[in-house]
Structure 1
């Protein structure tokens, strides 16, 4: 089966730091793939390369079989790839509904005084989208008045307004209160599955990864050191030591 997204031999260094050191990865249509790894391992760099914000020094990236390296971020969005950021990218002085309507309107190619940016069709679609995310009650609230969990959902709703087939998310639960985290991810996963959107997400909370990922890719020093289902990857002693931070008692069981 042809991968929805295929990366081959990606290499990118910043001085002596290798952010991507021969990365090969296929993203399957319909899956939710988690990317985990220590800080500085190259996780966000991969997202930036796929979405056109960084260009690798070597390698190839194809989306639905089409090469996309060298294309602008805007062009890549038009092809069906969207992203959300670790820090939500909202127009803080506008309401949640206005933010969503602006995202809906941005899919168009012609704006004029004849068709205002926030016309009825844009607002109606934005309202329906916010309802799917459980944000209807917050539609009239300014974005800067939201808590972090709602800001994250609103940011991802704006990305989904672009009608992508692939959504890349950089730490969608960072800064979210622990009591809210699982409910927010449950909402997110439900909406993405209902929309048939494939997702790749960078995540540091292993409970979120174990519960919601179909596969896990482990990044370490610019390379993918392990790839597989959560039940296998999260029990790997090297992953527990290098990523999760569990101290493995080498030889302890043998000595017992």
Structure 2
């Protein structure tokens, strides 16, 4: 397995706060990498640097062997890196189907305010996308009428419509009801694996991490404290003490 994304020596400080203090990380092609750590550890900063929203003061990032630092977020998306945000970025006054169609049209480069959005080819692809995410029953609802789990799936579906090779997700289960959380993650993992999308996701729910991550990177004060498979990392005494506290034993041994 080769590295799809490689970060070396990333440094970024906001005043006296070191958000990135020499980050070295390879994201392997095809894997699901979870990033965990306390608030303020630099997890979202890493995603923002990777997607062009922030520029590090030192270091390099390569995607598929090509340097991407200094590129705009739009150019990075065109290369094949997508992202979803902690708060879903949906057009709330539009239906779920219209949101999906907008993403399909944007990728195709054929949308304009003067062209009909629901041309047959766009509608067909948007409907197929929603079906894969289990969102067909709510396709005609406005986005602001969805529960948080459906909103998260719709947001990630829009990112998948852009056909990324790598998707970075910032807290995909944030705000999702506990009863819905595992079903939401199971759906997005299934779709991403079927689509051969490599994924990096920031997550605070350790049961989700234990069950779905191939590897776990632990962030602390802008540095990577630990990196490895979920069972090893989540059982590390320092990680348990400083980051996650106590976790049910069944979660530590959950299959990935």
Q: TM-score, normalised by structure 1?
A: 0.94
Residue in structure 1 matched with residue 46 of structure 2 by the alignment = 46
CA distance in 1, matches of 2:235, 2:113: 58
2:99 counterpart of 1:99: yes
Question: Shift in Å at residue 69 of structure 1?
Answer: 0.2
Residue in structure 2 matched with residue 251 of structure 1 by the alignment = none
Question: Residues 159-170 of structure 1 correspond to what in structure 2 (within 5 A)?
Answer: 159-170=159-170
Kindly tell me: are residues 13 and 96 of structure 1, through their superposed partners in 2, closer, same or farther at Cα, counting changes over 3 Å? same
2:133 counterpart of 1:136: no
Residue in structure 2 matched with residue 68 of structure 1 by the alignment = 68
Instruction: Determine which structure has more spread, i.e. the larger CA radius of gyration.
Output: 1
CA distance in 1, matches of 2:113, 2:61: 39
What's the secondary structure of 1:107's corresponding residue? helix
* Contact 1:105/1:118 (8 A) holds in 2: no
CA distance in 1, matches of 2:226, 2:120: 48
2:214 counterpart of 1:211: no
Kindly tell me: are residues 116 and 37 of structure 1, through their superposed partners in 2, closer, same or farther at Cα, counting changes over 3 Å? same
Residue in structure 1 matched with residue 197 of structure 2 by the alignment = 197
CA distance in 2, matches of 1:145, 1:113: 25
CA distance in 2, matches of 1:114, 1:21: 48
Question: Shift in Å at residue 115 of structure 1?
Answer: 4.7
2:167 counterpart of 1:182: no
Question: Shift in Å at residue 2 of structure 1?
Answer: 3.8
- Segments ≥4 residues shifted beyond 6 Å: none
CA distance in 2, matches of 1:7, 1:24: 5
How many pairs align?
247
* Contact 1:42/1:220 (8 A) holds in 2: yes
Question: Shift in Å at residue 122 of structure 1?
Answer: 1.1
Q: TM-score, normalised by structure 2?
A: 0.94
Stretches of structure 1 lacking an aligned partner (at least 5 in a row): 248-256
CA distance in 2, matches of 1:88, 1:151: 6
CA distance in 2, matches of 1:63, 1:33: 16
* Contact 1:4/1:26 (8 A) holds in 2: yes
What's the secondary structure of 2:61's corresponding residue? strand
Aligned-residue RMSD, C-alpha: 1.3
CA distance in 1, matches of 2:40, 2:16: 13
Question: Residues 111-122 of structure 1 correspond to what in structure 2 (within 5 A)?
Answer: 111-112=111-112, 115-122=115-122
What's the secondary structure of 2:107's corresponding residue? coil
* Contact 1:51/1:76 (8 A) holds in 2: yes
Residue in structure 1 matched with residue 251 of structure 2 by the alignment = none
Residue in structure 1 matched with residue 86 of structure 2 by the alignment = 86
